[in-house]
Amino acid sequence: MTSLRILRLVLPAVVCFGMVSPGALAASLTLYSAQHEQTVDLLTKAFTKETGIDVKVHSGEAPELASQIVKEGASSPADIFFTENSPELELLSEKGLLAKVAPATLASVPAQDSSPAGDWVGVLARENVLVFNKSMIQEASLPASLLDLAKPEWKGKIAIAPTDADFLPLVGAVIAMKGRPAALEWLKGLHDNATLFDDDEGVVAAVDRGAVATGIINNYYWARLRAEKGADKIQSAIHHFAGGDVGGLMNVSGAAVLKSSRNQAAGQKFLAFLVSKPAQDMISKLDITFEYPLAAGVAANPILKPIGELQPPSLTIKQIGDDRDAAQLLREAGLI
């Protein structure tokens, strides 16, 4: 391999990179996505097939993407933001970075699951649950309230993922229902009791292999593990919080078009597609996400507990907040 031959190999690659600079193709949409890559892949492919509009995806964790969009400001390359939880969308909404969603799109889902200001639309919902290892603990001895997990008797028996984007809304909900001082006390208790993981996948895997007895997760991480391992091999089960306890919080995964986007019409088309019956049907039929579809008349995956039987706390999107207070509190409690 002489250096000339290397040069001959490398030059075309370098030239190619030079040409594909971001934003060069106006006909396509850029999606900042915190939803699962597999789900988004299927959705964007179906969307491109239907409309001919190409979608480029930039994946990341929702708070990371939100802070990126805030920093990028008016020149953000993103056209659409698709998250797993509402707070990041609320943050961008408060900063005035989101465009109004077409009324017809908003009308496809229940009003309380979308932005109060009408600038993002709810797409899917997921439930917060407790996962427990069946051979380590009986369901009957699990606590009635999420807040009980901060009590000393739970020391060493609980796993949490404080840096997962799904944990922050839960903290926001506790702040809304019990006040900031009580929320801080709760987090300090968890700090003493809990084994920490990077994400919900880590928590559910640890509980299933018996490293920890219980863990706080969103329901569908367990459903995914069950699908991956097989129902006969799974060592864990999930426990639903009842009676409107904060532990049974329902999180809304939503999407918005950015105000700075130069592809407003195409962006609105994508939002409409996300809440359309075919797209919602596709998501709930595939064993990938296990989230509740929000569009009327679409049945949820049968592996999920029927949404009518859940007893989530009655909190509005506004009350759950925008993650900033929650993140601050996590740091004060020494969890991040």
Binding site for another protein (CB under 8 A): 1-4, 6-7, 9-10, 13-14, 16-18, 20-22, 30, 36-38, 41-42, 56-61, 63-64, 66-68, 71-72, 75, 77, 163, 165, 168, 196-199, 201-202, 205-206, 208-211, 224-225, 227-228, 230, 286-288, 323, 327, 331, 334, 336
Residue 123 beta carbon to another protein: minimum distance, rounded to whole angstroms = 18
Taking the mean position of all CA atoms in its chain, how far away is CA 175?
A: 19
* CB closer to another protein out of 192 and 296: 192
DSSP string, 74-114: GG-S-SEEE-SSHHHHHHHHHTT-BPPPPHHHHHTS-GGGS
Residue 227 beta carbon to another protein: minimum distance, rounded to whole angstroms = 4
* CB closer to another protein out of 86 and 108: 86
Burial of 309 (0-12, 13-18, 19+ CB in 10 A): exposed
295 C-beta neighbours (distance < 10 Å), count:
21
21 C-beta neighbours (distance < 10 Å), count:
8
Residue 121 beta carbon to another protein: minimum distance, rounded to whole angstroms = 22
Residue 52 beta carbon to another protein: minimum distance, rounded to whole angstroms = 17
- The set of residues, in sequence order, having a beta carbon less than 8 Å from that of 161 and lying 6+ positions away, is 167, 196, 197, 198, 199, 200, 202, 203, 216, 217
Q: Are 252 and 85 in contact (CB under 8 A)?
A: yes
Residue 106 beta carbon to another protein: minimum distance, rounded to whole angstroms = 27
Residue 228 main-chain phi, psi, to 5 deg: -70, -40
* CB closer to another protein out of 167 and 241: 167
* CB closer to another protein out of 229 and 240: 229
Residue 28 beta carbon to another protein: minimum distance, rounded to whole angstroms = 9
* CB closer to another protein out of 107 and 286: 286
* CB closer to another protein out of 145 and 195: 195
Residue 36 beta carbon to another protein: minimum distance, rounded to whole angstroms = 6
- Nearest residue to 270 (alpha-carbon basis) of 111, 92, 120, 69: 120
- The set of residues, in sequence order, having a beta carbon less than 8 Å from that of 149 and lying 6+ positions away, is 143, 158, 189, 190, 193, 194, 214, 216
* CB closer to another protein out of 153 and 228: 228
